[in-house]
Amino acid sequence: MKKSEENHIVDLAEFDQSISLFQLIPAGNGKGLSLLKKIVDYILTAKPGRIPSVLIIGAQGIRTHARALIRALGIEDVRETDGLLLQPCSALIDYFRNPSQDTGYIIAGAHYLDKLVQPLFVDILTNQKFNMYNFVRESKETYCVQGLLVMTSRAITLIPPPMRQLFDYIVEIEPFSYDQKILLGLQRIKYCGIGYRSEEVLEEIVMRTNGNLRQMVHLLQIAITLISAEGRVELDIQDIRRAADLLPTSIQSKS
């Protein structure tokens, strides 16, 4: 029987904000995570005048990897947004305002960037700056972009060719295997400081969500809320099944 020694349950929502790059479960053969570690070593050791840009692609866990990369570099000024929100073009002025070498940018869903915005990112990736007309001053102005730019996308083919060729690093996070998904569930349970009754609990989490990481997290959050309300700190298979019944019907894989 697996039991937790802690009575305090940590909020699972904080996982992405605290997990280290060196604590992440490798996906697939682990090449993507290995490359991210090498990028960190290069930046910390070589201290390049121009910090490289990174595109992280994959079906699951790419935002978690992006956050862990930024954290591994000790960057505190972190600006995270979705590509869909960077429109109109003037939104870039606010997003990249007052940059420095110690600024980190995470743009999730780079494939959602508006077509009018994409050419500006070509300039950013090429020259670390972009030009835009300032309607207040009635003149064209140049805005500099410093720091680490990390963008994510489900697939490289979704990124416009002019942009995809300009990233310094393209890191592919491979699909997680079944055993790796089991470990992902276990890692998050341990992070929260709770226990689990048997290995069947971990298998049930993966089965009920078809191994979708985001849904696994959602399922665990519901299950933890249920046991917290009952004053318990250990998950059993019935807790997972009860939590699955509370998930939206569209993501319930099995009954």
User: What CATH number is given for 176-251 in this structure?
Assistant: 1.10.8
Those residues whose C-beta lies under 8 Å from the C-beta of residue 149, and which sit 6 or more positions away, are 53, 54, 105, 107, 124, 125
Distance CA 60, CA 241 (A): 23
**Mean pLDDT value across residues 113-129:** 95
Structure confidence at residue 143 (pLDDT)? 93
**Tens-digit pLDDT profile for residues 86-101:** 988 889 999 999 999 8
Residue spans per domain, the chain: 28-173, 176-251
How many Cα atoms within 13 Å fall on the side-chain side of residue 184?
28
**Tens-digit pLDDT profile for residues 188-228:** 999 999 999 999 999 999 999 999 999 999 999 999 999 99
Structure confidence at residue 249 (pLDDT)? 64
Question: Percent of the chain having pLDDT more than 90?
Answer: 84
DSSP string, 166-193: T-SEEEEEPPPPHHHHHHHHHHHHHHHT
Q: Which CATH superfamily is domain 28-173 in?
A: P-loop containing nucleotide triphosphate hydrolases (3.40.50.300)
Largest CA distance in the chain: 70
